[in-house]
Amino acid sequence: MFLENTVNHTEQFGWIEVICGSMFSGKTEELIRRLKRAKFARQKVEIFKPAIDTRYDEEMVISHDANEIRSTPVPAAANIPLLANGCDVVGIDEAQFFDDEIVAVCNDLANSGIRVIVAGLDMDFQGRPFGPMPYLMATAEYVTKVHAICTRTGNLANYSFRKTSDENLVMLGQTETYEPLSRAAFFKAMKEQKISKIPIKDPEEIKASSANDKIGKDVE
């Protein structure tokens, strides 16, 4: 369980917290919870998200459970320090969609005395480390990995399986596009999906092809 750090006013350094996991694991819910606690403590809080994330709202950060908090959409990580002046706490949602500069930005903010809370997918739809997330997790003081429940087995899920054939790395979607799966269910689903993409020839085409091959050999 994560415990908030105590503030040492003689040490002008903050820290980085990373909340990671699969789709539907409660990452954004946990981010909002921590940010609202900081606001309740009358700390100055700013929340940022990538401008491309417009699934629920262009400005609000909204969890799958409809919990929400107002944020500032930014096109690139470099915009964040310009808007975080004088903050005690900076929250960043969907960090995997930012460019690699987000790592330096978060470290610079922490080094200037700001508590930085980052949420994002740690793996993409193919089960590979997602964008800058591994580097953020490596440099963070605190990493919280949350889990969803596998829709096929009921076990803990840490993979985000894409149910469509779209191969683009960035594809926004909800339950109609993604489902959280356990390790076993994910690799089984990936195998089935790979097999389904193999083109199946019509039996008549196979016969015709074999006949043509035979004719060609006879001619030789």
Euclidean distance between CA atoms 216 and 220, whole angstroms: 6
Which residue blocks in 153-197 are alpha helix, DSSP H? 183-196
Topology of the domain covering 15-219: Rossmann fold (3.40.50)
Domain ranges of the chain: 15-219
Enumerate the active-site residues.
94
Euclidean distance between CA atoms 133 and 57, whole angstroms: 23
Inter-residue contact 118 to 92 (CB < 8 Å): yes
Euclidean distance between CA atoms 10 and 100, whole angstroms: 31
Mean pLDDT, 10 residues at a time, the chain of 220 residues:
60 91 94 94 94 61 58 93 94 95 98 97 96 97 97 96 80 74 96 78 60 56
Which residue in 154, 152, 133 sits closest to 144, CA to CA?
Answer: 133
Inter-residue contact 106 to 92 (CB < 8 Å): yes
pLDDT at residue 173, as a whole number: 53
pLDDT at residue 105, as a whole number: 98
pLDDT at residue 57, as a whole number: 52
